[in-house]
């Protein structure tokens, strides 16, 4: 099980400083969608240059032009690129083909998918590397999480690996770990803490 640190509310120097603090406990650094919007793909390149030993995920949430956007993120040094599960199968196929060409991985984010079981089964046939259940900020704000959805994809997905994201904290991590996802994605649960190193270390312990 890998721990992915999501960086959403920082600029490039702040992100690098934050990763420096917790890098020994983290497997993947996510350049979150707001960071990509603010800073562009150069944030991916800057993180990979600063920490070549860590994997970097570009959270582009690709919705169209899958091949082209995966190409650009791959050129910037991303190891993983996210594509939305609600996008067309053609988009996901294009992303997967391009990722394979560059030895990169595609993580499909199921945010906004209404019939999770049916779509997860479909996406699982498209050759993606990971399927991720995700409660975004707007649904976290009304008290939702993805813990039951994780159990659903663990039951129906046969080929892809699984991941979970959305409001995971140290207190809720044991419940998540019990469902055995391949990647646990944590943003504010680490970045919003006063002692980030302490919390990241405890999370890593629970995951191992
Ligand atoms: O993709 C995201 C928001 O769209 C976040 O990176 C993801 O939800 C993880 O952050 P947090 O743990 O703070 O919810």
Express each pLDDT in 109-166 by its tens digit.
Answer: 999 999 999 999 999 999 999 999 999 999 999 999 999 999 999 999 999 999 999 9
Residues within a 6 A CB radius of ligand 1: 6, 8, 30, 32-33, 59, 136-137, 165-168, 185-189
**pLDDT for position 114:** 97
Mean pLDDT of 9-14: 97
Query: Architecture of 2-207 per CATH?
Result: Alpha-Beta Barrel (3.20)
Every domain of the chain and the residues it spans: 2-207
- Those residues whose C-beta lies under 8 Å from the C-beta of residue 188, and which sit 6 or more positions away, are 8, 167, 169
Name the residue with the closest Cα to ligand 1, atom 9.
187
Atom of ligand 1 nearest to the CA of 8: 6
pLDDT in tens, 184-196: 999 999 999 999 9
Q: What is the ipTM of this complex?
A: 0.97
Q: How far is C-alpha 135 from the geometric centre of its chain's CA atoms? A: 12
Name the residue with the closest Cα to ligand 1, atom 10.
187
């Amino acid at each position: 099980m890998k721990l992915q640190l999501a960086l959403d509310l920082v600029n490039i120097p702040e992100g690098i400083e934050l990763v420096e603090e917790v890098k020994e406990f983290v497997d993947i650094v996510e350049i979150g969608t707001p960071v990509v919007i603010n800073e562009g793909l150069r944030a991916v390149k800057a993180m990979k240059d600063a920490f070549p030993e860590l994997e970097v995920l570009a959270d582009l949430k690709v919705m169209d032009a899958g091949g082209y956007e995966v190409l650009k993120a791959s050129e910037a040094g991303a190891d993983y690129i996210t594509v939305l599960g609600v996008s067309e199968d053609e988009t996901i196929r294009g992303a997967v083909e391009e990722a394979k060409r560059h030895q990169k991985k595609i993580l499909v984010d199921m945010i906004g998918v209404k019939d999770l079981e049916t779509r997860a089964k479909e996406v699982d046939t498209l050759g993606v590397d990971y399927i991720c259940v995700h409660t975004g900020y707007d649904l976290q704000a009304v008290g939702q999480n993805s813990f039951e959805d994780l159990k659903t994809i663990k039951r129906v997905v046969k080929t892809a690996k699984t991941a979970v994201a959305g409001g995971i904290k140290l207190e809720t991590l044991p419940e998540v770990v019990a469902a055995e996802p391949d990647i646990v994605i944590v943003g504010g649960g680490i970045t919003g803490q006063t002692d980030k190193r302490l919390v990241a270390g405890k999370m890593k312990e629970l995951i191992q």
